[in-house]
Structure 1
Amino acid sequence: MQAITDAELEAWHDYEVESPREIVALLRQIAEKNQLIRMLIKGEADVCVTSLLAVDPDAGTVVIDCSVSPEQNTRIVAAGTVRCDTSLDKIRIVFGLDNLREVQFEGGTALSAAIPASLIRLQRREFYRMPTPVTNPVRATIPLPADLGGGTAVFPLADISCGGVAIHDSKLQLGTTIGDTFPNCRIDLPEIGPVTCSLQVRNSIDMTLLNNKTSRRLGCQFVDISRGNLAAVQRYITKLERERNARLAGLA
């Protein structure tokens, strides 16, 4: 990962997470997946590679592995504040740690710090796809051109992003020609409302299911989507993320 500048942190406010529950959920995922963390003590000149050992929301603390160098541990504690840089599911996570001190943890020495009040989840939403619920699928209503039979057809979504959607076409009603565009489509987002736009086919995959039937998955790009509709899509993605984090944290 590249070094983080203060100017970058200032520009990343849109990706800042401040919900204590979400922060705890994300930190727990980092710990459970044993993600390596680059701890910058005084910028790139003094770096320690470590991992998150435990998250205790009741005590308001996290426990991280200490450095193999006692001298570096002394510098970490003396610094008071360090910056941590890691990733989770290919998404960059940046946060600061304060009130560092040495503690005993599971028979060894570790470092304790306060749970950060905020962190940066540097997710480029236009490239990030969120799976949609299976039990309550999001549906897209697409007007079919005359050469495909005319009328309208309804398709469940496989995932959604701010760049487009993936559609399950189990009846093979849509074509597979890259660039084909379907205007006046309607996507009904639960608890958010309907979104209208054109959908352009960008990729197609035919899949054989366990019952030997063929299904098709179409990746479609939003075309001519208004700013208000795009904001609705982003709100829905944020809603899905919050629900997923709550499940992972055992809160839902």
Structure 2
Amino acid sequence: MTSPKVDPDARSAQVQNADTALLPTDEFSQYLLHARGEMLPIFRRLVERASQITLLFNEGRDMVLSSLMEASPNGLVLEYGADAGMNRKALQMSKLFCITQLDKVKIQFILSGVTTTQVDGRPAFLAQLPDSLLRLQRREHYRLVLPVLQRLKCKIRFPTVEGKERQIEVEVADISGGGVCLIGFPSALSLELDMEFPGCHIELPEIGTITTVLRLRSINEVAGRVGVRTQSVGCQFVGLPGLMETLIQRYIMKIERERKAREFGLK
């Protein structure tokens, strides 16, 4: 059977997007699982769900889209990809980075090479169980409340009644991979639930800039720093790319590391 042809440019774009979603295990080490008894139930659920798994190799330049067929203490069996050439390359690699999701929770692990086996007469990959598995918890577990003096700035554009565009700058009171809480909206500004603000910018110091669409999910009136009433607005990120979410998680980890360092007198 002739393998379907894959557009190299399309595949390159897929690889780049998948590669940018890789999370640095040194920054997320507290979410690594090492015990087989903890990893195997996750692998078996991936088998049950037939979840798609992206296998990255050759420094992220190549990939195979697969899924888990079997998971046992003896190892993992994964489907061959659609591209025979990529399958042959994967068999030659000593390390393959695997990314998937389970119940909207990111799963990441590294295989120390794969060999070939047969399942129901079809070729498949066979791999030993990885040494560890990174399970990044749900986004809301990582909401970072920012001290007043460390609050970020969010620039928001919105149309005026005259049909012109106006830009305001508000403070970010807390941030997570799912959204932000913004403070400092002018009280005279008319806000409604489910309003969307496209092209919002949030600069993360020493990390990068988030550009996203914000959807308004909650509105509360609070007292500002000098007693002036202002609006506290909870916003959800809409269609946030994996790269942007990774930047946010890196920023959260950076701030938490700095806090711990201060607590232990290292700074």
Q: Name the TM-score, length of structure 2 as normaliser.
A: 0.47
